[in-house]
Structure 1
Amino acid sequence: MTHTPPADLGSSLSERIRRARLLTCSQRRDLLAGFFNGAAADETPGLGLGTAIADFLHWEISSGRIRDGGGSPWWSAINGLLLLDMTAAARREPPEAASPAAIESPGVVGWAELLDGVATRSTRSQSLLWSAHQGSIGWAAEICSGLLAEEPEPERDFARVALAVVDRAARMDVATDGPLLGEMTRSYFPRRYPIDGASLAELCAGLAELGSSATPRPAQSGSR
């Protein structure tokens, strides 16, 4: 589903994206840990359902996509918006107190539903997490399309591959409270930013061997 922001939210969205991009690596780790060790804490050791999200953030930082004072504007914005959605949900802000941009993000509602599920020990908590995650990421990708267009072409293509891989994991309801997704990220995703064409081709070939049919082919040279 495509979420198109109303035109009158332009300035509010721009400010929210700016805030998301300016989060430091330390702040990102703290917000994530605060959410999954606080409001979303369950009986699972460590970060519980947030383990895979923390592993992905670690990869984003170690690969240079998120870096204090540098890195990728697109990757830093997408991750930051995800964390801001979590924070808004954890604060249980009433609609009149939340920013217009936060209200428009479907992820905020999704994360609040996850918190309710964890509190009641719902057996659907994993599905609720994926629903919230994809709501936040989908919205963020929509409003940050301009930032993606500014990335080098191989990196743009890789970002689309990464979104497709995550979407497939969500549709399969893959467990996020263990090391599986983190190990896959470390094994297949690039260790440097930005990715080059040869590394992207190698990545796609490796994912194809895993049977990742959701992985799109990179765009042809010169396309945007």
Structure 2
Amino acid sequence: MKSRFAADEAERRVRAVRDDPAGRVALAAEAYPAALVGYGRAELAFLRWELARGVLHPELGSPWWRAVNDRLLRDKMEGRILAAEGGTASTPGARGWQEFLAAPSPSSWYRAHNRSVVSGYLDHVELAVNECAAERFMINVTLARMLFTHALIERPGLLLGRFARLGPRAGDPRTRSVGLFLNLRNVFPEVYPLGDISVEQVITLEGRVARMIDYGLIVPKLDATYDFAAETLQEPRLPALIADGVLRYAGPTVPATAFRADAITRLVASATRRH
């Protein structure tokens, strides 16, 4: 009974803010008890970026971005209710949030957050396919960055090599440093829809720091990152979302040759290679 109530109540609360972008932000923040508000820093910053882009607008926004956010909010609210009342979660994501609230840590936060987001991605491929190529590229990069940042916490040596000791601090969702990976405000265009903007233009618009992160750190470790996420999140479909260095969720949007590394990104890739 408690389990069914939690799922139904979570759905009711998400439905109440579905056409209210600012209400989505408030509901997302409400899922964190006062002692844990720091864990919501990166998530809420990302949500405000979505709000600024307009992707959550009930009429002019993106059905895909709205659906994925629905899933995250629903899982969070169900997990919050279950953490207080007890019961069994209806989804792996909700169970992750229940476990995070029972034993909060950077690792349990990423397992909860990323499992919910990954479920949203995999459940709504048909909506993503309808987005333009540049939007799908941004969607893919967003996922790659989230999975990579999680791995910084649990497998830093896999991604940073000799600099592994820096991983847990850099990836901690409570710190400002995580914004280097998860804050996309200064990385991608803050408009929706993107219109005639091409994937190549989006790549060109990335700043030097963003390029260093994407092409010096993340792209060379895509296979390791997605394999790690598949194991940790218990989602075996994840590795199929990349192939030959190309992000392929909702179809390939850019050839591997587009990720040409400059001298700095090549240096970063070499310095963080696992030995």
Q: 1 or 2, which has the higher helix percentage? A: 2
Larger Rg: 2
Of 26, 31, 53, which residue of structure 2 is paired with 1:30?
A: 26
Between the aligned partners of 2:96 and 2:177, the Cα distance in structure 1 is 24
Residues 108-167 of structure 1: CA deviation (Å, up to 9, x unaligned): 11100100013xxxxxx1110000011101111111111101111211122111111111
Q: Secondary structure at the match of 2:54?
A: coil
Residue in 1 that maps onto 2:144: 164
Letter in 1 for 2:217: S
- In structure 2, what is the equivalent of residue 115 of structure 1? 101
Is contact 1:20-1:77 (8 Å) kept? Answer: no
Q: Does residue 1:86 correspond to 2:76, yes or no?
A: yes
Structure 1 residue ranges without an equivalent (≥5): 1-11, 96-101, 119-124
Of 166-175 and 81-90, more deviation after overlay is shown by 166-175
Paired-residue identity, %: 28
Worse-matched range after superposition: 20-29 or 184-193: 20-29
Q: Does 1:199 align with 2:196?
A: no
Relative to 1, partners in 2 of residues 1:20 and 1:82: Cα closer, same or farther, differing over 3 Å?
Answer: farther
C-alpha distance in 2 between matches for 1:181 and 1:175:
6
Q: Which amino acid aligns with 2:100?
A: L
The Cα shift of 1:202 comes to 1.8
Match of 1:129 among 102, 109, 119: 109
CA distance in 1, matches of 2:49, 2:151: 22
For 2:138 and 2:131, how far apart are their aligned partners in 1?
10
Give the Å deviation of 1:217.
4.5
TM-score by length of 2: 0.60
Provide the aligned length of Structure 1 versus Structure 2. 189
- 2:173 counterpart (157, 163, 176): 176
Picking from 100, 115, 124, the partner of 1:144 is 124
Q: How far 1:203 moved relative to its partner?
A: 5.0
Secondary structure, counterpart of 2:31 in structure 1: helix
SS of residue matched to 1:165 = helix
d(CA) in 2 for partners of 1:130, 1:220: 27
- Contact 1:65/1:75 (CA < 8 Å) preserved in 2? yes
TM-score (norm 1): 0.73
Residue 63 (1) aligns with residue 65 (2): no
Q: For 1:185-220, what per-residue CA distance to the aligned partner results, in whole angstroms no more than 9, with x for missing partners?
A: 222132112342143222567433232323764635
Tell me how far 1:175 sits from its aligned partner: 1.3
SS in 1 for 2:113: helix
Residue 208 of structure 1 is aligned with which of 201, 207, 211? Answer: 211
Task: Give 2:184's aligned residue.
Answer: 185
Q: Which runs of 5+ in 2 are unaligned?
A: 1-7, 154-170, 223-244, 256-275
